[in-house]
Amino acid sequence: MLAFLNGQFLPEEQARVSVLDRGFLYGDGVFETIRVANANPFQWPEHFERLERGAARLRIKLPCSNEELGQAALHLIAENGVTEAALRIALSRGPGPRGYSIKGADHPTLAMTLHAAPKLDPDHPRLWNVVTTAVRLPPKDPLSEIKSGNKLPHILARAEAESRGADEGLLLNGAGDPIETSSANLFWLERDTVCTPGVESGILPGITRAWVLDWCRQARVEVREKTVRSSQLSRADGIFATNSILGIVEIQQLDETRAARAALSGRLQRAWLGALNA
């Protein structure tokens, strides 16, 4: 596999960064994960916009424009001869002097790699078993709104879920309310209303979350951003999760409770796959 690193295309095993890179030391960076379909990165503008916003929040100067990075992504996809994949962009502040000060760290590292993406078949949709984890995210955390390189809470939630035999772990915020899973945004149904926690709850506002909210508005399905208690969630009229690689995934089991079937989830996934493959 070829990788992209700081303007160069080179074999993945040669794509290496300094041990002084602040990404490696402190998670001092942002990243994006994008589904590639028909050799095309789906929703590229939305992902690039979030990358740009995260970099600005961390005061990391993006070393290239939307057009330049987009061209490099297409070149990477073509050179590797893949059509279906997951594309990861990682931007770090690069190497710098010892310590937390960002002074003197002016050469960001930008890497893109391609990975296998799970096949998605609308006739055989995934169903997740989710458990509530011990991980708490701080509310009103300015970092939660960007896809930062500080992902230990999500890693620990995922590890806890897997060790308990589940697919994904549910994370709560400081108020004890469920807000997202380790790799996906959370939705639930109250009768025909599609509900999801608002940005102020501490979630990472996902690209697929926004796509679902848009779809609902266009389809005149009522949507509400609101908080939910754990006990309300397990009694909801269906639960599902969204991310950029898998689309919309129904949650069939939450802790000890069998969730109600969420028929809308299958309809959403078909629509999302339609857009992905358009």
Please select the residue that binds a copy of itself; options are 38, 65, 106, 115, rule is CB under 8 A: 115
Cβ-in-10-Å burial (0-12, 13-18, 19+) of 199 comes to middle
Residue (155 or 275) nearer to a copy of itself, CB: 155
Using rule CB under 8 A, residue 3 touches a copy of itself: yes
- Find how far residue 48's CA is from the centre of its chain: 13
Phi, psi at residue 233, to the nearest 5°? -60, -45
Q: Return the range that interacts with a copy of itself (CB under 8 A); candidates 35-43, 100-108, 215-223, 227-235.
A: 100-108
For a copy of itself, give the closer residue by CB, 195 or 249.
Answer: 249
In order of 119, 179, 234, the CA distances from 268 in angstroms are 17, 20, 21
Q: Backbone dihedral region of 99: left (phi > 0), alpha (psi from -120 to 50 degrees) or beta?
A: left
**Which residues partner with 33 through β-bridges?**
88
Binding mask 24-43 toward a copy of itself (x if CB under 8 A, else -) reads: xxxxx--x-x----------
Q: How many residues bind a copy of itself (CB under 8 A)?
A: 61
249 forms beta bridges with: 241
Residue with tokens 């969420």: 262
Q: What is the nearest approach in angstroms of a copy of itself to the Cβ of residue 275?
A: 22
Position 150 contacts a copy of itself (CB under 8 A): yes
Q: How far is the CB of 132 from a copy of itself (least distance, A)?
A: 16
Of the listed pieces 39-47, 63-71, 99-107, 252-260, which binds a copy of itself according to CB under 8 A? 99-107
Per-residue mark of binding to a copy of itself, 179-218 (x: CB under 8 A) = ---xx-----------------------------------
Residue number with CB closer to a copy of itself (197 or 238)? 197
Count of CB atoms within 10 A of residue 16's CB?
12
Contact indicator for 193, 250 with CB cutoff of 8 Å: no
For 119, counting Cβ atoms within 10 Å of its Cβ (0-12 exposed, 13-18 middle, 19+ buried), the class is exposed
Out of 7, 55, 73, 140, the residue judged to bind a copy of itself by CB under 8 A? 140
Q: Is 15 in the site for a copy of itself (CB under 8 A)?
A: yes
Tell me the Ramachandran region of residue 198: left when phi exceeds 0, alpha when psi lies from -120 to 50, beta otherwise: beta
Which of 11, 81, 101, 165 is close enough to bind a copy of itself by CB under 8 A? Answer: 101
Q: How many residues does the chain have?
A: 278
Contact (CB, 8 A) for 19 and 98: no
From 21-29, 209-217, 230-238, 269-277, span contacting a copy of itself (CB under 8 A) = 21-29
- Binds a copy of itself by CB under 8 A, chosen from 11, 67, 81, 103: 103
Q: Which is nearer to a copy of itself, 136 or 270 (CB)?
A: 136
CA distance readout (Å), 274 to 120, 122, 216, 246, 269: 12, 10, 15, 13, 8
- Which residues in this chain contact a copy of itself in the complex, by CB under 8 A? 3, 5, 12-13, 15-21, 23-28, 31, 33, 58-59, 86, 88, 90, 92, 97-103, 111, 113, 115-116, 134, 136-143, 148-159, 162, 174, 182-183
